Every structure is written in structure tokens, then in C-alpha cells.
A and B are shown apart, each in its own frame.
Chain A
Amino acid sequence: DAKTTQPTSMDCAEGRAANLPCNHSTISGNEYVYWYRQIHSQGPQYIIHGLKNNETNEMASLIITEDRKSSTLILPHATLRDTAVYYCIVRVAPLINDYKLSFGAGTTVTVRA
């Protein structure tokens, strides 16, 4: 799987948009970009994923650059409950033996009132 690089930590203000960057310069054409988050003392939670088009769901938006070498997760109106570690993961499209997620260190996001 391609490696990802994320900032170690970032702060954002409650009610404002939080923009979380991720670099994946070695991504290949069949690799998806996934985002998960882990709120303190809980299991990881899926947020969103995409291949090359921008994606939006009820939790967040995912913007992938045209060359696919980087992406940004956007939490449109951050709340205190969004304080968590956010993981950007690059995964190959479904293959027979594609059964694992490789988590890096992630970005610790702290939302402040």
C-alpha cells in the first residue's frame, strides 16, 4: 500500500470547518483513499473514502487532487465531539486477499470552544 503523510496535530475552532491534509504521493491508480477516526477510548470509525472524484457524506467531504497525490478531509462544522485522531489510509481496490487496513500515526485534531 502507498504510504501516507499527515500532520501530527492540529487545532480548530468549534463551528468552523476543519481541513485535514494527507499526502500520498506514491498512490497508484487502483488505490482508494480512506479516512477513519478514533475518538478517545473508542474503536476506529469509518468516515469516508474515494478513488478520484470528490466525495461527500453526512459526516465529511473528501477532496482529492487531480493528480491524486494528496487529499483533504473537510469537517464542515467542527464540534467538540469531533476531537479525535484522524487516519488517512490508502488501500488497493478489492482483491481476493485484500483484508487489512494499515493505520499510521494519524493527525490528532483538537476542537476548541
Chain B
Amino acid sequence: DTAVSQTPKYLVTQMGNDKSIKCEQNLGHDTMYWYKQDSKKFLKIMFSYNNKELIINETVPNRFSPKSPDKAHLNLHINSLELGDSAVYFCASSQGGTGNTEAFFGQGTRLTVV
């Protein structure tokens, strides 16, 4: 069983569209994250949720709206997609903060905006 799964794996869409990426973890973790990896390969945190509550929002444009319906899911909705949103988006989870625990990452969603 995949611990952290994201769908879709690939997403190609036109500028201006709205799209969602789904993430589910079956590890029983209470904290979930979204990271963005741009073309230069730097991984940057976007959001983190603990027990469905937003903990971190790293100055991400408000076109990006995470939604956590329960502890096992953290979805990412993106409005009015722009070319610069093209990147690989990774979902991750951990038990509690990552100070002394490991984080598990999904396989990524490659978003291409044309």
C-alpha cells in the first residue's frame, strides 16, 4: 500500500484554468504538507496542516487554496493557473512536527501550464 498518494501524477492545463491535486496518506499521521519543486529543483514548503488546521502558509498566492477534509487528506486547489505555476508538487505527511520525526513524501504531481 502506498503511504502517501497523490493524484493525478501528471496534469497539463491551459492558463486561466482551475485545477485540483488530491493527496491521501494512510499512515495515521496528523500533519500534512504541500511542497513545490520548481525547474531549478529547489523544494519549498507551501502549506502545512496539523489536525486539519492550517499551521504554515509560506506567502503563497491566494490562488492556491489547500483544503483538509480530514487528517488523512490534504487537497490543493489552484485558481486561474499561470505559466509560473508549472512545477512538481509534492504532498508529505508526518506525525507531529518534523523536528524529530521523519516526513513521508508522495511521488509528486507534475503540473504543466501551457
Contact = CB atoms under 8 A, between A and B. Distances in A.
Secondary structure class of chain A's binding surface, majority of residues? loop
A46 B102 contact: yes
A97 B55 contact: yes
Interface stretch (B13-21, B69-77, B78-86, B90-98): B90-98
A28 B68 CA distance: 34
B102 A49 contact: yes
Interface string A71-108: 00000000000000100000111111111111101000
B102 to A, nearest CB: 4
Contacts of B33: 99-100
Interface residues of B, number: 28
Interface residues of A, number: 24
A86 B49 CA distance: 26
A49 B33 CA distance: 20
Contacts of A99: 31, 33, 48, 50, 55-56, 97-98
Interface string B13-43: 0000000000000000001010000000111
Contacts of A92: 99
Contact of B105 (A32, A44, A95): A44
B99 A32 contact: yes
A64 B90 CA distance: 30
Nearest to B6: A43
Contacts of A105: 41-42
Among A85, A93, A95, A97, the one with the most B-chain Cβ atoms within 10 Å of its Cβ is A97
B60 to A, nearest CB: 13
Given A99-B33, A99-B55, A105-B42, A43 B100 contact: no
